[in-house]
Homo-oligomer: A and B are copies of this chain.
Amino acid sequence: MNPITFAHRFDHVTGSAIREIFKVLGRPGMISFAGGNPSLDALPDRLCADIARDVLTEDGKRILQYGATEGYPPFVESLTEYLRARFGFDMEQNGVLPITGSTSGMDLVCKALLDPGDVVLVESPTFLGNMQTLNLYQARLVPVESDDDGVIPQALEQAAKTHRPKMLYIIPTFQNPTGRTLSAQRRKAVAQLAAQYGFLVAEDDPYRDLRYRGEALPPIKTYDATGHVIYMGSFSKVISPGLRVGYLLCNRELLRKCTVGKQGTDLHTPNLNQAIVDQFLRRNLLEEHVRSILPGYREKLDIMLEELSCFPQGSAFTRPEGGLFVFVTLPNGLNATALFETAVERGVAYVPGTYFYPEGGHDDTLRLNFSNSTPQQLRQGMQTLGALLSQSAQAQ
């Protein structure tokens, strides 16, 4: 046949670089610090088996029939109550929409708001999955400088003045890939700047409940007096990513557009998956389940931080209070992108940090995930990596 002409939205999206990385993860014996998967131990398979049978037995006809785009009614109810009680969100001004994983929330927000060429401010580095979603809407990504307390308000204000952005995409808590958390003061500043300069904030908050120490901070959304902040939550990290259930919370006008967009994207999120998460909320299972998985995650993070001492002197790394990732900057121009292949040959995978930067570069950085390895794998993998990096440092 004639070659197919694909849509221009794919002109700069190949989806391939990072996929090559993930392909090697299945090799026998590979220790992977590359993914962002929850620990298998933390996935409540037996509980979900019972719940799935229960909900299909009790409300099976409604669950198997077409549902409303607006969500499975019992779940919308329990979720609304949960969010009101937990964060004090104003559920008259705001509404909630169950979505098919938080990726689909990002997709719907982009669908509602973005025309090609619209500027979206992003942290630098930021989550590469949602960069791809943004790129498929032909957004122009403009990085905003961050430090250990997250996005710097002065840099954000300057970018708002210079670029007149449509939106800021931000992960304020245990950020992906850095693990950093935006300070409370800056959360307030972000909400104020959004109101002042008229851009929307897509607040992506999937890691919040994986806090191993320190005090939880309120979402940016709680400082939003003007309806500029969209709160995107997910049950992927605290119940199951395979179920694909998250939610959007935002002002009702924007939520309506997202809902109409969703009619054309997947009609509705599967009812069964919403019904399962609904039971976690209704039976108060979520809090207990989260409490039960935190100690294992905390131990793994601590092992990884401890083992970072075997990295070459001068390595800098984040010390997150939660989440799934540690971000490392190597000394003396050591190149984590170039070393990746050798690391994989030695049986350890990570993600070179360059993929998280909208502008590329930063080859001296890497992201390490600790949740999906055993303590023994963490020690062994970190020591293998440390030895490789030290060799390379000496060879320079």
The reply to whether B66 and A242 contact each other, CB–CB distance below 8 Å, is: yes
Which of A15, A198, A243, A253 has its CB near the most chain B CB atoms (within 10 A)?
A15
Q: From A169-177, A254-262, A342-350, give the one contacting chain B.
A: A254-262
Distance A101 CA – B100 CA, assembled complex (angstroms): 12
Other A-B contacts than A6-B257, A63-B242, A244-B266, 8 sampled, CB-CB below 8 A, are A7-B114, A15-B263, A49-B56, A53-B53, A65-B241, A67-B242, A132-B264, A135-B264
Chain A residues close to B by CB (< 8 Å) = 1-2, 4-10, 13-15, 35-38, 40, 43-46, 48-50, 52-53, 56-57, 60-67, 100-101, 103-104, 106-107, 111-115, 129, 132-133, 135-136, 166, 195, 198, 200, 226-228, 236, 239-244, 251, 253-254, 257, 259-261, 263-273
- Copy tally for this chain in the complex stands at 2
The reply to whether A66 and B37 contact each other, CB–CB distance below 8 Å, is: yes
The reply to whether B103 and A100 contact each other, CB–CB distance below 8 Å, is: no
Q: List 15 A-B contacts (CB under 8 A).
A: A7-B112, A7-B115, A37-B65, A40-B65, A50-B53, A63-B242, A64-B243, A107-B264, A107-B265, A107-B266, A243-B270, A244-B267, A265-B265, A266-B266, A270-B273
Contacts of A136 in B (CB 8 A): 111, 261, 264
In this complex, what residue of B is CB-closest to A265? B107
Contacts of A257 in B (CB 8 A): 6, 10
In this complex, what residue of B is CB-closest to A224? B1
In this complex, what residue of B is CB-closest to A52? B52
- Among B1, B129, B261, the residue within 8 A (CB) of A263 is B129
The reply to whether A56 and B61 contact each other, CB–CB distance below 8 Å, is: no
Q: A37-B66, A57-B49, A66-B242 are in contact. Are A198 and B266 (CB under 8 A)?
A: no
